[in-house]
Amino acid sequence: MQLTIENVGKKYRRDLWGLHDFSLTLEPGALGLLGPNGAGKSTLMRILATITKPTTGQVTWNGTNVAQSPNELREVLGYLPQDFGVYPNLNAIEFLDYLAAMKGLDAKTARVRIDELIQVVNLVDVAKRPLGGYSGGMKQRVGIAQALLNDPQLLIVDEPTAGLDPEERVRFRNLLSDLSGNRIVILSTHIVSDVEATATHIALIRKGQLLQHAPPEKLLNRIEGKVWEWTVSSEELTTLKQQYLVSGTIRKSDGVLVRAVSDIQPAPQAQSVAPRLEDAYLHFVQERNA
């Protein structure tokens, strides 16, 4: 099982490339796509889901060019778009049943699968209520369920945890870990902690370009010795934020405990601390603004 992305670019307007010269090879596991708003995450996912054609480059699924024969990929694809919508008058079971029929699942298989998925996404109690009355997080869980209907080999979920409460977010993370063993899972998020524990690889993306692609622990290694903590007064904090890449602050009785990423020791009292993924994200994604 292999998904290869070679020099893929997407041009939206004369001077706007949503994605530029993007290359990556994926094998079973979970890839976390991290990047700020407008980085190109959804553009990449739409290209991989064969909703949009790339302007340049090519995507191949197990050696087959996806632009030429999209069906091989589509048959094994589960996709949750960022702007997923539901039919308000249908309940969760009816809605999933409808989509299962469209995906070509036979009625019996669909029934069993839908039953399972309703439990997996924790919607048993509301499964017979019209979707129009669901909260944002509940709709999102229906979206996750529909992406899993055909037991996909390639699962692409665009901001799947948007709107989920902490409990459901944890539940979803565990689900992704379980799923990623024998399939390719790609998820995008702004929330670093969503991918910290579950992603086997992280791709950091900004302005349509791939900045880093590595397992989380490798990304952490790359900023080893560059993360510092020290206490300053509240007055000093504003200037400090202009000077350094501050990744966290905690108010204390004797001032503010600052956490920052810096190549050199920012202050004599600053202690070197173990990097977290959040620090790596800031370092690589905001490097040039620092």
Ligand X SMILES: Nc1ncnc2c1ncn2[C@@H]1O[C@H](COP(=O)(O)OP(=O)(O)OP(=O)(O)O)[C@@H](O)[C@H]1O
CA distance to 53, 59, 82, per residue, from 179 (Å):
27, 23, 20
* Residue 270 near residue 284, CB atoms below 8 Å: no
Residue nearest to Mg ion (CB): 42
Task: Return the range that interacts with ligand X (CB under 6 A); candidates 39-47, 73-81, 124-132, 161-169.
Answer: 39-47
**Contact with ligand X (CB under 6 A) among 5, 24, 26, 39:** 39
32 counts as binding ligand X under rule CB under 6 A: no
Q: 91: which DSSP letter?
A: B
Nearer to ligand X, 265 or 286 (CB): 286
Residues in the chain: 290
Between 15 and 106, name the residue whose CB sits nearer to ligand X: 15
- Name the residue nearer to ligand X (CB basis): 149 or 156: 156
Residue 262 corresponds to which tokens in the numbers above? 């810096």
Choices 74-82, 102-110, 178-186, 246-254 (CB under 5 A): range interacting with Mg ion: 74-82
**The only residue of 4, 42, 140, 212 in contact with Mg ion, by rule CB under 5 A:** 42
Q: Which stretch binds ligand X (CB under 6 A): 20-28, 36-44, 63-71, 94-102?
A: 36-44
Query: Of these, 3, 4, 5, 35, which contacts ligand X (CB under 6 A)?
Result: 35
Residues 240-269 binding Mg ion (CB under 5 A) are: none
Distances (CA, A) of 33 to 77, 92, 100, 233: 18, 29, 28, 36
Smallest distance from ligand X to CB 55, Å: 12
Pick out residues in 180-199 that bind Mg ion (CB under 5 A): none
**Ordered strands of the 245-252 beta sheet:** 245-252, 255-261, 227-232, 271-272
Torsion angle in degrees (nearest 10) through CA of 145, 146, 152, 157: -80
Applying CB under 6 A, among 1, 38, 51, 124 the residue interacting with ligand X is: 38
**The only residue of 1, 2, 7, 12 in contact with ligand X, by rule CB under 6 A:** 12
**C-alpha span between 91 and 128 (Å, rounded):** 5
Q: Which is nearer to ligand X, 18 or 54 (CB)?
A: 18
Binding mask 63-92 for ligand X (x = CB under 6 A): -------------------x----------
Q: Is the CB of residue 195 less than 8 Å from the CB of residue 162?
A: no
Q: Which long-range contacts link 82-87 to residues 24+ away (Cβ below 8 Å)?
A: 82/42, 82/45, 82/158, 82/159, 82/162, 82/188, 84/139, 84/140, 84/143, 86/131, 86/134, 86/139, 86/142, 86/143, 87/131
The interface with ligand X within residues 209-238 (CB under 6 A) comprises none
Task: Give me the least distance between CB of 12 and ligand X, in Å please.
Answer: 4
**Total site size for Mg ion, rule CB under 5 A:** 3
Backbone angles phi, psi at 170, to 5 degrees: -65, -45
What are the residues whose beta carbons fall under 8 Å from the beta carbon of 133, sequence distance 6 or more? Answer: none
Site residues, ligand X (CB under 6 A):
12, 18, 35, 37-43, 82
Site residues, Mg ion (CB under 5 A):
41-42, 82
